Amino acid sequence: MRAWLVGVFLLAGCGRYADFTLPPPVGPAGEGKWTWAPSPEPVLKNGGKYDSVDALNPEVWQATDGWSMTYSGWDGRVWRTLSAKSKDGVAWTKSDRVMIEPNPSTWEGNYIAANGSGLWYQAGTPPQIGDSRSRQVAVPRGPRGAWDEMGVGDPYVVGRYMFFLGQDRARRQRLGVAELRGGAWYKLRSNPILELGEPGAFDEKGLGEPAVWEQHGRWWMLYTGRDKKEWRRIGLAVSRDGVKWSRIPGPPIIDVGAEGTWNSRVVCDPHVIQQRDGSVRVYFGGGNKPQPAENLNGQIGVGVLRFEK
CB-based contacts of 227, cutoff 8 Å, min separation 6: 201, 202, 203, 204, 205, 233
Q: Tell me, what's the pLDDT at 233?
A: 98
- Residue 193 forms part of a structural domain: yes
pLDDT > 90? residue 15: no
Res 103: pLDDT:
87
Q: What is the pLDDT of residue 115?
A: 58
In a domain, 302, yes or no: yes
Per the structure, how many domains does the chain have?
Answer: 1
Percent of the chain with pLDDT over 70: 94
At 96 the pLDDT is 84
User: Which phi-psi region, left, alpha or beta, contains residue 135 (left: φ > 0; alpha: ψ -120 to 50)?
Assistant: left
Q: Is residue 15 part of a domain?
A: no
| pLDDT-based confidence at residue 118 (cuts at 50, 70, 90) | low
Assign 3-class secondary structure to 269-307.
EEEEEECCCCCEEEEEEEECCCCCCCCCCCEEEEEEEEE
195-211 pLDDT, tens digit each? 999 999 999 999 999 99
117 domain residue, yes or no = yes
3-state secondary structure 179-215: EEECCEEEEECCCCCECCCCCCCCCCCEEEEEEEEEE
pLDDT of residue 259: 97
**What band does 157 get if pLDDT is binned at 50, 70 and 90?**
very high
What would the mean pLDDT of 279-289 be, rounded to a whole number? 98
Q: Is 277 inside any structural domain? A: yes
Give the max Cα distance, the chain.
54
Tell whether 188 is covered by a domain.
yes
For 32-86, give the secondary structure using H, E and C. CEEEEEECCCCCECCCCCCCCCEEEEEEEEEECCEEEEEEEEECCCCEEEEEEEE
Residues 6+ apart with CB under 8 A from 258: 264
- Establish if 173 belongs to a structural domain: yes
Q: In this predicted model, what pLDDT tens digit does every residue of 65-104 receive, in sequence order?
A: 899 999 999 999 988 999 999 999 999 999 988 888 888 9
Number of H helices, E strands in the chain: 0, 21
Q: Give me the CATH number covering residue 209.
A: 2.115.10.20
* Residue 8, pLDDT score: 29
CA distance 138 to 122: 10
Mean pLDDT throughout 273-283? 97
Q: How many CB atoms lie within 10 A of CB 91?
A: 12
Work out the pLDDT band at 30, boundaries 50, 70, 90: confident
Asked if the structure places residue 27 within a domain, the reply is no
pLDDT for the residue 14: 61
Query: Of 139, 78, 132, whose CA–CA distance to 109 is shortest?
Result: 78
Q: What is the value of pTM for the model shown?
A: 0.93
Residue 1: pLDDT band with limits 50, 70, 90: very low
65-79, 222-236, 273-287: which has the minimum mean pLDDT? 65-79
What is the extent of the structural domain holding 48? Answer: 34-308
pLDDT for the residue numbered 114 = 62
Q: What average pLDDT does range 103-110 have in this prediction?
A: 88
Contacts of 59 (CB under 8 A, 6+ apart): 69, 70, 71, 114, 115, 116, 117, 118, 271, 283
What is the share, in percent, of the chain residues with pLDDT greater than 90? 81
Alpha-carbon span 2 to 74, nearest angstrom: 13
